[in-house]
Every structure is written in structure tokens, then in C-alpha cells.
Amino acid sequence: MVESDQSKRPVSMREIQASQAKTHLLELLDAVERGETLIITRRGRRIARIAPETGHQQQEIDQAIEGIRALRKRIGKVPHAEILSARDEGRRY
């Protein structure tokens, strides 16, 4: 494990042969999407790195937070009882 420069969280990093990467590309992309960084090797020599796109993900998070803040400004404070009522609406007891 290696520490990420941006988040200071451990980043999983694994090496994989180019031939295996070609065969299992979709599975490897799923792993990268979950935060894993892959090193592609050819004949034992590192030739490429596949890493998660962190900037785009952070941009989506920032947009969601701004949307929530804008909504809170528009509707004001919601009473606790109203939140619980909305949560429980449609539940079967």
C-alpha cells in the first residue's frame, strides 16, 4: 500500500502483466474505479500505470454539496418531526 498525495489515504497498488491486463481489462477497470492503482508490466519492466480519476470524482462531490447547500437555503430549516415523518412515510408497522 502507498499513501495518496491528495487524500493521505492508503492506495492499493498491484502489478499485472500486459497479457493479463488485455484479457481482464473490464475487471481491472472495475478495480480502478473502486480506487485501486494498477501497474502494467511487460517482461518484468513497468510500462504503464492505471489510476483512478480523482479530480472528476471530487468535482461531482463538490457539486452535490453545493446542491444540498442551495436546497437548504431555499427551504430553510426542517423540523426534526417532519424529517422523521418523511422517513416513516410508507413504512409498514
Task: List strand residue ranges (DSSP E) for 1-93, in order.
Answer: 2-3, 10-11, 13-17, 37-42, 45-50
Judged against a pLDDT cut of 80, whether residue 10 lies above it is answered with no
Domain shared by 30 and 69, yes or no: no
pLDDT band at 11 (very low <50, low <70, confident <90, very high): low
In the chain, the percentage of residues whose pLDDT exceeds 70 is 87
| 42 within some domain | yes
Q: What is the pTM of this model?
A: 0.50
Residues 6, 45 within the same domain: yes
Does the residue 44 lie in any domain? Answer: yes
Is residue 14 located within the same domain as residue 36?
A: yes
Q: What is the pLDDT of residues 43-76, one digit of tens each?
A: 999 999 999 887 777 788 889 999 999 998 998 8
Supply the range of the domain harboring residue 23.
2-52
Task: Please indicate, yes or no, if residue 93 is contained in any of the structural domains.
Answer: no
| DSSP secondary structure code for residue 79 in this structure | -
